[in-house]
Structure 1
Amino acid sequence: MASLVRSAHVRYPLALVALVVGVVLLRGVANAAVSSVVDSGVPAWLPAFGTIGQTVSVYLLALNIALIVGVPAAAYLLGYRHGRRVD
């Protein structure tokens, strides 16, 4: 199994799967954080933007932009590296 994971033919697709699973987990954590903020208010250390709803909207917008730009860029780079690798 260890030699299989070291193989480039498996490593890059596994990294892509890990990326997608990480995004799903990140969205779950974000949803849990939103419900926590709505229930108890914004923590003092977290910059607030107007009301609680505006603050949640700003942070979710930033997360969505990062996911929309970051995930395809990471998938492209993983695919590019996988395609360029010569064994």
Structure 2
Amino acid sequence: MQELAGRLKVLDPAASESVKIIGYFDSLVAGGAGVESVVRAAAILSGVPAGARVRGRLIGVDADGARTAPREPEERTPPTRRACGSNAPTAQA
């Protein structure tokens, strides 16, 4: 993964950073990290709070990696899909 990120950096620096993030999460999972560790990593890397529901249990972590009181997610309307290269919305599947 590191070799791919190094070669990709020359072609597309943003894609290279994405590969590094994927590698980071792969290493967490390979190392047996639990759900809370993965959620904490997501919060710290993104700079915003993150959460997960696992078997009915809510886990919340703030952007600094500290555990927070979990709360139910807000209801959100899924974004409208757009055709590739078009600004016109397409029908939802």
Q: If the length of structure 1 is used for normalisation, what is the TM-score?
A: 0.33
Ranked by relative contact order (alpha carbons within 8 Å, sequence separation 6 or more), the top structure is 1
* Higher helix content, 1 or 2: 1
Q: If the length of structure 2 is used for normalisation, what is the TM-score?
A: 0.32
* Higher strand content, 1 or 2: 2
**Which protein is bigger by CA-based radius of gyration?**
1
